[in-house]
Structure 1
Amino acid sequence: MSSDLEPQRDTALVSAESKDLQEVPLQPIPEYVQELVMRAKQAAGRLATLSTAVKNRALEAMADALEEKKEQLLEANEKDVEAFGSTPEKKAMADRLRLTDKRIEEMSAGIREVAKLPDPLGDMSKMWTRPNGMQVGRVRVPIGVIGIIYESRPNVTADSAALCLKSGNVCVLRGGSEAIHSNTAIAAVLAEAAEKAGVPPGAITFVERPDREVVPVLLKKDRYIDVIIPRGGPSLMRTIAEHATIPVVKHDAGVCHIYVDADADQAQAEAICVNAKAQRPSTCNAMETLLVHQSIARTFLPRLMEKLQAAKVEVRGCPKTCQLLPEAKPAAEDDYGKEFLDLILAVKVVKHMDEAMEHIAKYGSQHTEAILTTDYQRAMRFLREVDAGAVLVNASTRLNDGYQFGLGAEIGISTSRIHARGPMGLEELTCSKFVVLGSGQIRE
């Protein structure tokens, strides 16, 4: 499951000049990683100064190339899906792994949306004048080289490459071994199209070797990589925490809640809850726990249960929920706070909004939380007091997404308490530097 769990073999078959196949030892991992990051670092300076027009042409070429090479990408993906397997416990991960015509079209559409967005680089929000006449301002610049370590979802390769390119950042992409054929194919298509459009070689760098030893080595390259963005499960996060000497922007588990308030529009709430759980349960912004106010539970839950059963959702409920829903299974304590990534939903009946918010504070992962209510004051209080990267009122948690928010695409949904929190688009992939315009000023 984890991208750093399965080592690659120690030799590779390559074609010799005589056309005979020979086994040749692979390059040692430290040397392999060093060459990659040095190449990436060399590309960073040139990429940071590319014009918006060149970057946009490259992005359009990348989007076109994905569609033109669709059959090639699907063929590569089929190898990964076959090797991964389809046992029930792998169902959620297999769904993330699979490419379809529609998902490739969505990848292309996301890249085109990024091309249409304003270039964040060079933006100077304000400049001020000091008493000595010196002018001081802050201008938006690229972070530099961004390492992205992720699992399963091949679309992350395309989204990350597009966002990094538009924001002037070089990306070093390390996908999971379970998607090695898909990611290698996508990265090759994108890099070739970008380079033909004028992007420096190395701007889109992909780590083709899935050896488990690559990640710890990569995480120590703080002279070459400026920030690491991990997207994956607990095993990957532990590896990052143990080995990284580079700043990390965490994209952790999505234990997302919806609280249905006493004053909710119940028909609307049913539709939202079914969408949040069943539309694509394997994603990090799918609802995992439903909290329902006790005053409407008796009428709301049975009707919702019919729709959930139609969507093949298994409900695990608190004692009150099980009294109202004989079809529900009793919830274990660890069902609350669990990221199921499947058609399983934990349900709890709560006395009031305070209990709902206490539950969210205890079990949530500060990813996405929502309230369904027609009471304005309670909605505003929920927005103020609930701590998460995104807090929604009367909307599905599935909408916490860079594309849905108008960011074009996202490099992930940050759960870190730093400048980048929630979906990370172009602005979140930049930092600022001070610029000073003087006329001979010196410090007295």
Structure 2
Amino acid sequence: MKKPAFSKRHLILPVAALLAPQPAHAQVIAVADSGDTAWMMLCAMLVLLAALPGLALRLAGLSSVRSALSAVAGNMGVAASVSLVWAIAAYSLIYAPGDAWLGGSGNLLLSNLAALRDSMTVPESAFVLFQMSLAILAACVVGGAVVDRARTGWMILFAPLWLLLVYVPTAHWIWGGGWLAGLGVMDFAGGLTVHLCAGFSAISLSLIAGRRASGTASGHAPALSMAGGALIWLGSAGSVGGWALGATDDAATAILNGHFAACAAALGWMVLDKALGRRGTATGAISGALAGLAAIAASAALVSTGGAMLIGLAAAVICRGVSGLMGKSVDDPAHIFALHGIGGLAGVLLLPVFVLPVLGGVGFEGAVDLSGAMLSQVIGVIVVALWSMAGTAIAALLISVVLPLRVSPKEEENGLDTALHGEQAWDFR
């Protein structure tokens, strides 16, 4: 199913020119709509808010007190390296004309950007900025799976290779008109392309890195991780609202549905904790909200308000169960796999049901029916999950030839941050 059609607004020639006699071949020149352009740029900044201070604070709070600074430094380093590779090649390999498997070389180093992106009302540079913010978010999410034990330098080298091997093909297959899009796989704002991809990459990386020597004790600053989670909640409005590709009713609907899904998931997680005989926790509430946001991303502008709430509630129940199970076998301090991977998976598979008009959704286009749409979604989930895990393993092993992933046992015991002249400093290594 294609994304919903959005209004196209064009500016016309100045009034004085219109009043003058016009030659027969004169044409109206389409230029970018300033409102839609400003909206896309704002949404990109909101996503970066989630990726940089949001994830940085969340990871710092969930790590040990002697490794918090390294968690923040690694997050920032990943964002920087991914941004450069995005400009050099990644954007072109996703969106430049190519084939069903990969884009072309027409926009390497962001060359040949159009004044107006095809079928949009914004310049291609604004579209590049928004798409880059989503790529940064995905890469930073993956890095959260190995805090407290991964070298900062290793993560900075790994992230751009992961971007090229995993994220770029996935994004092209779905958003760039690739073969999964041709099969009818639906993903409005990244439930599959960002969250599921990052989540399954994270579990692969966690298994390769192994468990922390200190075990899986909770982080040192729950309030800090709560603040980071709240910033991610706020920033997610940019990812779903930006994919409306303009300041339209679809953008407002997507943001509303994202918020409602997060609220339903946060309360559902707390109620489930209580039902299981445990006291509800603040960190549980924000975990539920993040699961709801991952789940609704695939369908934010395509479902009704009630549908969004039910998707969020379902994500809370599923992700809460997976989180409890995975905590005993996989060392993933930020629960990346449970919240983003499983949350995204739940939302992608629930999309065909809640998009039905009888449930208030926008419906399917053409001859697509529920069974056909569900089959497409299942194929998309299987392909992206397997590709993400395999590609992550390949990237991790390649970088490990140059630089080991883990710090030494002694360094891990003492913490990744290094005391230097009375200040905390992180070691690039």
TM-score (normalised: structure 1): 0.27
Structure 1 or 2: larger helix share?
A: 2
Which has more radius of gyration?
A: 1
Structure 1 or 2: larger strand share?
A: 1
